Amino acid sequence: MVGADSPYVKLTRMGQALDPISRNELWGIKPVWNFVKASKFLNKRHLFGLFINIMLKFNKHLLRPIFLTFFLFSLASQLWASEAGGGDTDIVHRVSILVIQVSLIIFAAWTGGILFIKLRLPSVLGEIIAGVVIGPYCLGHIPVIGFQHGLFPLQATFPVTVELYSLATIASIVLLFIVGLETDLDTFVQFSLAGSVVGIFGTLVSFVLGDIVGILFSNYILGVHHGFFHPVSLFFGIISTATSVGISARILSARRRMNSSDGVTILSAAVIDDILGIIALAVVIAVAKTKHVEFKQVFLILIKTIGIWIIFTALGLRYSRHLSKYLNRIKNKRTIALLCFALALMLAGIFEQSGLALIIGAYTMGLSFSKTDLAFLIQEEMEMLQRFFVPIFFCVMGMLIDPTVLASHDIMLFGVIYIVFAVLGKLLGCSLPALFLNFNLRGALIIGIGMIPRGEVALIMASIGLSQGIIDHDVFSIAAIMTFATTLITPPILDKLLSSDKPILRKQPPDKKELIAIKFDMPNPETAEFIHRKILDTFKSEGFHSHRQRHGLYFIRKSEIFITFKYNRHQHEFDCLKEDAGYVYTLFYEVISELELFAKKLETLKDKVTIGRRIFDPQKPSKAKQSKVFQKLLPKAVEVNLKGNSKDEILKELVDLLIKSEQLHPSKKDTLFNAIKNREESLSTGMQDGIALPHAKSESVDQCIFVVGLKKEGLDFASLDNLPSKIFIMTIAPTENQHEYLQHMSQISRSLTEEQNRNKILSAKTNKELTEILKSLS
């Protein structure tokens, strides 16, 4: 007998709620959609449907297996939940829920980030929106199969679970540790005066205007009067002081303005006001805990906070080089990075126990290592950790936002007021001082706009206030709205201003350290790739640490030497101080010398002809490895009667055949012909037994393309057996897909190994007949 409340009966009832559905629908989105329609949460149906439709349009093939996995897990969860007891199983249950939550957060954050990147907006905004959508205030509390209270149920005292917020806290430590590592101390010191003035004034003006918004908010929303020094008012001010170093840095890096006067001023000022904001955060938290707002008490807390930060920062900068030398004895890079992150966690805990915030300790440890050889190594090895934790942080921050708050006219009004005051605070507080620091109006405007985005630091500050009970969800939502808006509007405006080469200074100061760009043109993509790898290996052998910022851009460092290496398939460029140019020229000369020696040794290789002949050695492949390459042959990609009487004429005719068969755009003709010709000059592709396989890699194609031509009377193609070539198969492969190219060439050689196959090909009288013969060989 099956009980009325058995898991089987429960599943049967759930299945009835999903009927009628077809077998194909069971593997897609419709079962979940039908279940939602059948549920009591009909008011959420349209929102959920809109979310599903957007995701389906984004990537249908990826989402089907995700939903299938989720659906099967839900069924298994329902079975397990009916049998779960108390005690230890409760811990196991909570951990299993956390694992599922993290997996969904990663998928949601990735989807939101990609969508916003496609819209040319910062990915962090997409990750925040994804958190709002799947969070406890939106879809997260809707019951689904196996989760009675939803995947992200609203908690009693805090929107998300302690476990999930703990992960977000660790993510904030990772984030601020990386920000500290990326801080350029030399640049910071060089522009310390301008950066300090801009940062201090920007912090003060933003803080005052933000505090005023807090006073207005308490009067008109809470119905109580909070003074200027009330914790809620102070938190409005503190959140307003933050500046996202990452958002502005990405735009400056893309425009190659990181080392410019405006770029350096923005970055150094952002560091200054973040430090001041974080210190002010520690002061406010201490005041809120002691519930004293006397000036003497505030002054003592301020002295204590600044004193602890200065002491640990000074100790870190003083002994970080010695620690770096000790850690360098450990040959394993991942172990070094792991130990450095462990130190960051330790210092974050010490700072929290001392009354400061965790993120101050993480930032201080990152700042200490930023001047050492290990900075790039740590960043590189922690990249995967950063990719895992940081999206979780932004997504969880989105979960803390209550979208229903936006329906309140008063909250939206104060959100808009806060945005305006936040923009004005940075624009006025940073632009006006810049006008007195040798910047013209355009330069001052760039600095002011570059300081507007709040980003991750503001969210961290707001989340700390929320977790400490100092601010409520309404305040957090207003802060999130301000953060979202300032992060959204800044990138396009700043990018537009930086795109112009107009002067930004009233008077150009003499350069104490002259930066130069050293460029080397590459003869072809293959040589460029080879030299690129050799350069990185040579730097490494000389004790330099390299860090890949993005595709084709590397930061290379050893002690006081800092070099930027930009690589593409046509040119290598090095940016460095003029005094360090000797390192670059010497290293590049050594690489070229080794390449020439390598080429000379290759010329003495006696087995080249033997290797070429072995390609067409008789071989009998198994049925599983039968070649299918000619099944892809297009009808217009064959020519039974080539007209050319020289190697170049045959090559041009085959290239024309690629265009005729619509595999190649006519505008790429000359580029491709030159690539083929260069390949022939290095080593002829005339093989043996009347076969020639001209081929090349090119950026003009994104997949392997090929054509087949016959010259039955034969043509001298400098073949290995010195016999005329009659069968010509030209292959063009993309530069990035090495595996597909080698597999393609291997299958062609396998098909032409047998003499009877070659005779069949040469017996063709028409293009149609040639196509049929070739496809029959597959």
Burial of 762 per CB tally in 10 Å (0-12, 13-18, 19+): middle
What pLDDT digit, counting tens, does each position of 651-676 carry? 999 999 999 998 888 888 888 888 88
Give the model's pLDDT for residue 9.
39
Give the model's pLDDT for residue 173.
85
Give the model's pLDDT for residue 352.
78
Calculate the average pLDDT of the chain. Answer: 76
Burial of 90 per CB tally in 10 Å (0-12, 13-18, 19+): exposed
Percent of the chain with pLDDT over 90: 4
Give the model's pLDDT for residue 294.
63
Give the model's pLDDT for residue 587.
83
β pairing state of 571-577 and 515-521: antiparallel
Tell me the one-letter amino acid at 281: L
**Confidence class for position 709, pLDDT limits 50, 70, 90:** very high
Tokens of 261: 């006067």
Cα torsion 138, 142, 148, 150 to 10°: value is: -30
Spatial separation of the C-alpha atoms in residues 182 and 380, rounded to whole Å = 12
Tell me the one-letter amino acid at 326: Y
Indicate whether 295 pLDDT > 60.
Answer: yes
Give the model's pLDDT for residue 255.
62
The pLDDT of 181-203, averaged and rounded, is 74
Cα torsion 80, 83, 88, 90 to 10°: value is: 60
Partners of residue 709 on adjacent β-strands: 639, 728
Residue appearing with tokens 């990138």: 491
Give the model's pLDDT for residue 550.
60
Give the model's pLDDT for residue 124.
76
Q: What is the 3-state secondary structure (H, E, C) of 105-125?
A: HHHHHHHHHHHHHHCCCCHHH
Give the model's pLDDT for residue 688.
81
What pLDDT digit, counting tens, does each position of 39-88 carry? 443 344 444 444 445 544 444 444 555 555 555 555 445 444 444 444 45
What pLDDT digit, counting tens, does each position of 102-139 carry? 999 999 988 888 888 888 777 777 888 888 888 888 88
Give the model's pLDDT for residue 710.
92
DSSP-assigned letter for residue 723 = P
Indicate whether 456 pLDDT > 70.
Answer: no
How many other CB atoms sit within 10 Å of the CB of residue 543?
10
Give the model's pLDDT for residue 190.
61
Indicate whether 500 pLDDT > 80.
Answer: no
Give the model's pLDDT for residue 5.
45
- Residue closest to 400 by CA, chosen among 173, 165, 241, 112: 165
Give the model's pLDDT for residue 19.
39
**Confidence class for position 6, pLDDT limits 50, 70, 90:** very low
Spatial separation of the C-alpha atoms in residues 598 and 578, rounded to whole Å = 31
Burial of 340 per CB tally in 10 Å (0-12, 13-18, 19+): buried
Indicate whether 761 pLDDT > 70.
Answer: yes
What pLDDT digit, counting tens, does each position of 276-294 carry? 777 777 777 777 766 655 6
The pLDDT of 578-596, averaged and rounded, is 81
Cα torsion 494, 497, 502, 507: sign: negative
What pLDDT digit, counting tens, does each position of 230-240 carry? 888 888 888 88
Measured between its terminal Cα atoms, the distance across the chain in Å is 59
Give the model's pLDDT for residue 40.
40
What pLDDT digit, counting tens, does each position of 199-211 carry? 889 889 999 998 8
pTM over 0.75, yes/no? no
Tell me the one-letter amino acid at 257: R
Question: pLDDT: is 695 or 225 the higher one?
Answer: 695
The pLDDT of 753-771, averaged and rounded, is 87
How many other CB atoms sit within 10 Å of the CB of residue 722?
9
Percent of the chain with pLDDT over 70: 75
Cα torsion 233, 239, 242, 244 to 10°: value is: -160
Q: How many CA atoms lie within 13 A of 122 on its CB side?
A: 27
Cβ-contact 310, 275 below 8 angstroms: no
Tokens of 327: 């850690």
Instruction: List the single range of 177-191, 343-357, 483-497 with lowest mean pLDDT.
Output: 177-191
Spatial separation of the C-alpha atoms in residues 443 and 306, rounded to whole Å = 32
CA-atom Rg of the chain in angstroms: 33
Q: How many CA atoms lie within 13 A of 166 on its CB side?
A: 5
Tokens of 396: 């969880």
What pLDDT digit, counting tens, does each position of 534-582 carry? 888 888 777 777 767 666 778 787 766 778 888 877 888 888 888 788 7
Spatial separation of the C-alpha atoms in residues 730 and 544, rounded to whole Å = 43
Cβ-contact 245, 174 below 8 angstroms: no
Give the model's pLDDT for residue 3.
45
How many residues does this entry show for the chain?
A: 778
- For residue 195, the SS3 value is helix
DSSP-assigned letter for residue 155 = P
Give the model's pLDDT for residue 188.
60
CA 306 from centroid of its chain's CA atoms: 35
Cβ partners under 8 Å of residue 761, min gap 6: 710, 727, 752, 770, 773, 774
Give the model's pLDDT for residue 64.
53
Q: What is the 3-state secondary structure (H, E, C) of 24-76?
A: HHHCCCHHHHHHHHHCCCHHHHHHHHHHHHHHHHHHHHHHHHHHHHHHHHHHH
Helix, strand, coil: what percent of the chain each, to 5?
65, 10, 25
Question: pLDDT: is 720 or 513 the higher one?
Answer: 720
What pLDDT digit, counting tens, does each position of 481-497 carry? 888 788 778 777 887 88
Partners of residue 705 on adjacent β-strands: 732
Give the model's pLDDT for residue 653.
92
Indicate whether 164 pLDDT > 60.
Answer: yes
How many other CB atoms sit within 10 Å of the CB of residue 518?
14
Cβ-contact 131, 164 below 8 angstroms: no
Partners of residue 567 on adjacent β-strands: 572
**Confidence class for position 189, pLDDT limits 50, 70, 90:** low
DSSP-assigned letter for residue 668 = G
Indicate whether 503 pLDDT > 70.
Answer: yes
Which strand (E) or helix (H) includes residue 732?
A: strand 725-734
Tokens of 220: 């008109």
What pLDDT digit, counting tens, does each position of 361-415 carry? 887 888 888 878 788 788 888 888 888 888 888 888 788 777 777 677 777 888 8
Give the model's pLDDT for residue 654.
92
Indicate whether 617 pLDDT > 60.
Answer: no
Spatial separation of the C-alpha atoms in residues 325 and 2, rounded to whole Å = 69
**Confidence class for position 1, pLDDT limits 50, 70, 90:** very low
pLDDT winner (highest mean) among 569-583, 589-603, 625-639 = 569-583
**Confidence class for position 4, pLDDT limits 50, 70, 90:** very low
Give the model's pLDDT for residue 256.
61
User: DSSP strand E in 452-514: where?
Assistant: none
Give the model's pLDDT for residue 331.
75
DSSP 402-443: -GGGGG-HHHHHHHHHHHHHHHHHHHHHHHHHHHTTTB-HHH
